[in-house]
Amino acid sequence: MVQSFGERMTRNDGSTVSSGIDRPSNESRKQREGIGTTGAFGQRSGSSDLLFLEGVLPERDGNVLNTHSIDEQTVACLDRLEAMLDRRGATLENVMKVEVQLTDLDVREAVDEVYRARFDGEFPPRTTVGVCSLPGGAGIQLDVVAAEE
For the chain, which residues make up each domain, given as ranges?
1-28, 32-147
Residue 100 half-sphere exposure, CB side, CA atoms within 13 Å?
24
20 pLDDT band (50/70/90 cuts)?
A: very low
Tell me, what's the pLDDT at 49? 83
CATH superfamily placement of domain 32-147: RutC-like (3.30.1330.40)
Mean pLDDT throughout 75-95?
Answer: 95
Q: Report DSSP letters for 33-84, one per residue.
A: P-S--SSS--EEE-TT-EEEEEEE--EETTEE-TTS-HHHHHHHHHHHHHHH
Digit-coded pLDDT (tens) for 46-72: 556 899 999 999 999 999 999 999 999
Q: How many CB atoms lie within 10 A of CB 84?
A: 21
Tell me, what's the pLDDT at 18? 43
Q: What is the rounded CA–CA span in Å between residue 49 and residue 42? A: 15
pLDDT over threshold 60, residue 24: no
Q: What is the rounded CA–CA span in Å between residue 58 and residue 35? A: 13
The rounded mean pLDDT for the chain is: 80
Closest CA to 128 of 139, 118, 120: 139
Mean pLDDT throughout 22-31?
Answer: 44
pTM of the predicted structure, to 2 decimals: 0.70
Cα first-last separation, the chain: 21
